[in-house]
Structure 1
Amino acid sequence: MSFSSKIVLITGASRGIGAATAIMFAKEGADVVIVGRNEEKLKEVEVECSKFGKKPLVITADLAKDEQVKGIVNKTIDAFGKLDILINNAGILKKNDIKSEGFIETFDEVMNTNLRASVLITNVAIPHLIKTRGNIINVSSVAATSTSVVNSVTYKVSKAALNHFTRCIALELAPHGIRANTVSPGPVETDIFETAGIPEALQNYSGQLPLKKVGKKEEVADLILFLASEKAQSITGANYVIDNGWLLN
């Protein structure tokens, strides 16, 4: 796959799946815009992307702030004049219990990052994606359709909503030649569980999955690149699961 003439914007690109996806797009010749809150981590990703001959545009931004989200798209257009591919990858996982006092505060925080930010940046990017007959890929989770893990209701609801949002915009944007799809990983070797305060979860999952392993971020990035490529030109409104059999349990 070659993306030598494509401009790719990736949120949550400072680590994990987002970083792996940015590096892989850079390897395939794309001009990459990497967005995140951790400036130091973004610089590390910038170094890796630059090894393939093109320096990425690095944007430090908080997706919970509307003006910063709008600025991400504006800076991309100012730098490259167009946008071909939008990867909404930013997301957070936080434990919360519907019975707890702080439930609504956590609910708002997770929904703002996992859903609202993706909706907003998509809305702002649409005029530019229409011009290029572009591509939207939203990174969701198998948690969107599973209730097997307790104390993560907000994360699951946010991802379920993201899945349905993707299907809805796929239909609305099809007349403009824009495709929109979702990738739903199962447990993946990233620091999301550690950040959520449950570092033991990843090791526990590896023995429970039918394929007896958790995913690698590069595997998810491979799938994202496939959906962004001409090989997937007839695929829209789909949800691609990559979970080592999680949903079979």
Structure 2
Amino acid sequence: MSFSDKVVIITGASSGIGAATAILFSKEGANVVLVGRNETRLDEVAQQCKDPLIVKADVTDSEDANRIIEETINTYGKIDVLINNAGIVRYGGILDENILEAFDAMMNTNLRSLVNMTRLAVPYLIDTKGNIINISSIAGKNVRDPRIVAYGVTKAAVDNFTKGVALELAKHGVRVNAISPGPVKTEILVNAGDDTPWEAFDAFMPLGKVGEPDDIGHLALFLASDKANSITGVDYICDNGVMLK
């Protein structure tokens, strides 16, 4: 599947799912726009891509979000695919004093910035009849740990937003889908202050393994391609079977 001359914006592209997805799209000929806050890591990902556009930016900052779109259009003149991948996890149950702080941080990063990036990109996606992929989570569908209930709320909102925007943009030929990973070997736990090794999850996975970032990247490639041109408003679960339990 070729993405030759297609312009693909990936937020949260400095590591994990975003980095893997960017590299895969680049290998398929796409002009990738790497968005993230860590310039050093963005440079490392860029070395594995072909002539990417690097935009050091914080998607929660409205001026930065505008700049991402502006730099993309100034460089390539169009947008074909938007992958809203940037996200964070903060722990906090309803009995914790920090629940509102955690909730606000995740709503801002996981939902508000996603809505804003979508709003800004949509006029250009209508022009190209492009598509959007939102990275959600199985946490938005199944409560397994009360410490991440606020995280799950943000992802449930992403799921509903995906369906609503898919319905609204269908008449313009723009497809909108979501991918909901289960546990995936990224730095999301470390960034949340959790030092649990990923191997600890293996015993709970029906397929006996935790996901890899490439698993999500390959699914994104399919959903963004012409092979999925009749698919919109769908939430694809990629979790090694954990929701079966």
Cα distance between partner residues in 2 of 1:49 and 1:227: 20
Report the TM-score when normalising by structure 2: 0.98
Task: Give 1:30's aligned residue.
Answer: 30
Equivalent residues in 2 for 1:211-230 (5 A)? Answer: 211-230=207-226
Secondary structure in 2 matching 1:45? helix
Q: Give the match for residue 14 of structure 1.
A: 14
Q: Which moved more, 1:92-101 or 1:133-142?
A: 92-101
Matching of residue 47 in structure 1 with residue 75 in structure 2: no
Residue-by-residue CA offset, 1:147-191 (whole Å, 9 max, x unaligned): 112201111000000010000000000000000000001001111
1:172 aligns with 2:164: no
* Equivalence for 1:147: 143
1:198 matched to 2:194? The reply is yes
**Percent identity among equivalent residues?**
52
**3-state secondary structure, aligned to 2:216:** helix
Partner of 1:136: 132
- Mapped to 2, the partners of 1:176 and 1:213 lie a distance apart of 40
> Which residue identity lines up with residue 211 of structure 1 in the other structure?
L
Q: Is the 8 A contact 1:169 1:180 kept in 2?
A: yes
Q: Of 78, 85, 91, which aligns to 1:82?
A: 78
Residue 124 (structure 1) shift: 0.6
Residues of 1 paired with 2:91 and 2:232: CA distance?
A: 32
Matched residue, 2:68:
72
Q: Which residue of 1 aligns with 2:120?
A: 124
- Structure 2 distance, partners of 1:88, 1:68, is 15
Q: CA separation in 2, counterparts of 1:149 and 1:225?
A: 31
2:92 to 73, 96, 99: 96
Q: Runs of 4 or more off by more than 4 Å in structure 1? A: none
Aligned-partner Cα distance in 1 for 2:45–2:14: 6
Cα-to-partner distance string for 1:90-130 (whole Å, 9 max, x where unaligned): 00011112112221111111110000000001001111010
Cα-Cα RMSD: 0.8
Deviation of 1:193 after TM superposition, in Å, equals 1.1
Partner of 1:34, secondary structure, is strand
- TM-score, length-scaled by structure 1: 0.97
> 1:105 corresponds to which letter in structure 2?
E
Give the Cα–Cα distance (whole angstroms) in 1 for the partners of residues 157 and 194 of structure 2.
Answer: 24
Matches of 1:45 and 1:123 in 2, distance apart?
27
CA drift at 1:58 = 0.2
Q: Give 1:209's aligned residue.
A: 205
The answer for unaligned runs of 5 or more in structure 1 is: none
8 Å contact kept, 1:8–1:30:
yes
Note if 1:3 corresponds to 2:9: no
User: How far apart in 2 are the matches of 1:9 and 1:181?
Assistant: 15
User: Whole-Å Cα distance in 2 between the matches of residues 145 and 244 of structure 1?
Assistant: 15
Q: Distance in 2 between matches of 1:2 and 1:148?
A: 39
CA distance in 1, matches of 2:59, 2:226: 29
Q: Which secondary structure does the structure 2 equivalent of 1:152 belong to?
A: helix
Unpaired segments ≥5 residues, structure 2? none
Contact 1:193 1:202 in 2 (8 A): no
